[in-house]
């Protein structure tokens, strides 16, 4: 049974939002989403929002370059020092690479996908380095 307590996430064009568990997946086909246990953390959703909110602001979402998987990877690292399975990001990375080189995704979507200029310069790897710096700070974890 899923909790009705609000949770942090998902990340979308609205930035980081909160809502009842897995609300972001309700529009998907009838197959239930897969939930994988990743661990426990002493950090709160408020701490996550405070520390990752600057990375994932409203209006910076990009389907291929800065999306819910990017956010999940960074959130996992912040909360658990763990990373998202790279296999879950292969399709979007392939899409980004082909669109960057030849505009293929823009062409096959009839222009529905357009790179978001507000996501320019974002990389998960740079964000992980930033999060690591935050967590290495002598002030991290103190209220």
- For the chain, give the mean pLDDT: 85
- Give CA separation, 73 vs 86, 124, 131, in Å: 9, 8, 11
- Check residues 22 and 74 and name the one with the higher pLDDT: 74
Q: Looking at residue 36, what is its pLDDT?
A: 85
Please check whether residue 22 is in contact with residue 33, taking contact to mean a CB–CB distance below 8 angstroms: yes
pTM of the model: 0.81
Residue whose entry in the numeric block shows the structure tokens 């246990």:
37
């Amino acid at each position: 049974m899923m909790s009705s307590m609000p949770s942090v996430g998902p990340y979308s064009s609205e930035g980081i939002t909160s809502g009842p568990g897995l609300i972001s997946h309700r529009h998907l086909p009838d197959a239930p989403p897969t939930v994988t246990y990743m661990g426990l953390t002493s950090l709160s959703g408020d701490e996550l929002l405070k520390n990752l909110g600057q990375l994932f602001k409203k209006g910076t979402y990009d389907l291929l370059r800065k999306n819910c998987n990017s956010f999940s990877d960074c959130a996992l690292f912040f909360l658990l020092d763990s990373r998202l399975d790279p296999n879950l990001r292969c399709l979007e990375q392939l899409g980004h690479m082909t669109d960057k080189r030849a505009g293929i995704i823009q062409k096959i979507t009839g222009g529905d996908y357009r790179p978001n200029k507000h996501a320019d310069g974002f990389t998960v790897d740079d964000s992980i380095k930033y999060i690591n710096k935050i967590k290495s700070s002598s002030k991290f974890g103190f209220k």
